[in-house]
Amino acid sequence: MDSFYLNEDSENEYDEFTALFKYYKQKVSKPNFNEVIDFKRNADRFAKTLLSVPGDKRNLGLKDVSTWESYQLDNCPGFHFIPDPFTAEGKNKWSRQCVEDYPCDQNETNIGFLSETPWKISNEILQSTPKNHLSRYSKQLKVLKTTPVWKLRWATLGLRYNWNTKEYFQSGCSTFPAEVNDLSCVIASAIGWKNYKAEVAIVNYYHVGTNICPHTDHSEKDLSCPLVSVSFGLPAIFLLGGQTKDTKPSAIMVRSGDVIVMSGPSRLAYHAVPRIIDDDVDCGSADPLDVYLNHTRINLNVRQFQT
């Protein structure tokens, strides 16, 4: 099993956060999701606010509406959950860019700097595979595991990140994608942050059976700036706690297109993803990107590094 963001704290140490993380991570038996907050299916149970998002946002793949619904948690001020503000075409656009454009020769990945994106070869393999071999979930997975893109776990945009020291390199950074900055600025401005400047992003690629261990994001120079997180593909369980792991976290269902913003006190809260949810269903499409997303969660995590 792959785990990411390993903390200095031992996962074997008992605390409220680790206990719930292990419960949702377990493989022996499927955990019960009754206590998971689901803003989509049970929206009437939670207070919501309307965020103003003026202007035409269709070029960013966002729905052309003037307001978004946002949900907060009383026990974690500064946390915003915005249910899927993307169009279907927008989710396809951003998912494709995450696998096709961002793992490239100027952006570092877990498999190095790539002269050719792993998606190019993977796309060719999937397109040449007979459609009947991609019609069932198990057959899709078998083919995907032979492709280069299956080995992709992360790609950094802008400043490079040292996963061991949890610090950013001050040199060797890549050009930050303008469209990611534009998207992040729209999202940040919706919660009242008017001068947001995205400078670094980590694109994570997670398959069923992988998880993100409990951690905080504290490597940026200005920790008052919000963290913007956008997910595509498979749903996942997201845990959000407090400043220490002694606080019992809330478990939240995150689906494709959902946006999470962590600002204020929530910016330094412990969080984790113990489980990528596998529906084990056929996607009904032989399109290579659809097949990949039927087995993968993509997370675009954006930060402002300094004031």
Average pLDDT value over all residues in the chain: 89
| pLDDT score recorded for residue 43 | 80
Of the two residues 207 and 278, the one the predictor is more confident about is 207
Contact 276, 207 (CB under 8 A): yes
For 101, the domain range is 3-303
Nearest Cα to Cα of residue 208 among 274, 110, 281, 277 = 277
Banded model confidence at residue 298, pLDDT cuts 50, 70, 90: very high
How many independent structural domains does the chain possess? 1
What are the phi and psi torsion angles at 4 (to 5°)? -125, 160
Contact 186, 62 (CB under 8 A): yes
Tell me how far apart the alpha carbons of residues 55 and 93 are, in angstroms, rounded to a whole number: 20
| pLDDT score recorded for residue 120 | 94
* CA 278-284-286 angle, 5° bins: 105
| pLDDT score recorded for residue 5 | 43
Residue 154 has pLDDT above 70, yes or no: yes
Q: Regarding beta strands 211-215 and 3-4, do their DSSP bridges make them parallel or antiparallel, or are they unpaired?
A: parallel
Among the ranges given (59-63, 136-140, 185-189, 297-301), the one the predictor scored with the smallest mean pLDDT: 136-140
Nearest Cα to Cα of residue 95 among 149, 174, 159, 175 = 149
What mean pLDDT do residues 56-75 have? 90
| pLDDT score recorded for residue 153 | 96
Tokens for 147? 């492709």
* CA 191-195-200 angle, 5° bins: 90
Q: Regarding beta strands 271-276 and 211-215, do their DSSP bridges make them parallel or antiparallel, or are they unpaired?
A: antiparallel
Residue 74 has pLDDT above 50, yes or no: yes
| pLDDT score recorded for residue 168 | 76
Tell me how far apart the alpha carbons of residues 150 and 94 are, in angstroms, rounded to a whole number: 18
Radius of gyration of the chain (CA): 19
| pLDDT score recorded for residue 8 | 40
Residue 6 has pLDDT above 70, yes or no: no
| pLDDT score recorded for residue 44 | 81
Beta-carbon contacts of 137 under 8 Å, excluding residues fewer than 6 positions away, are 280, 281, 282, 283, 294
Nearest Cα to Cα of residue 264 among 110, 130, 79 = 79
Residue 10 has pLDDT above 70, yes or no: no
* Residues linked to residue 300 through DSSP beta bridges, in sequence order: 203, 230
Contact 259, 63 (CB under 8 A): no
What mean pLDDT do residues 184-209 have? 93
| pLDDT score recorded for residue 45 | 83
Cα separations in angstroms, 191 against 30, 73, 196, 223: 36, 15, 11, 16
| pLDDT score recorded for residue 288 | 94
What mean pLDDT do residues 8-14 have? 52
| pLDDT score recorded for residue 13 | 57
Cα separations in angstroms, 230 against 27, 96, 169: 26, 14, 24
Q: What is the CATH number of the domain that holds 96?
A: 2.60.120.590
Largest alpha-carbon pair distance within the chain? 53
| pLDDT over 90, % of the chain | 63
Of the two residues 12 and 133, the one the predictor is more confident about is 133
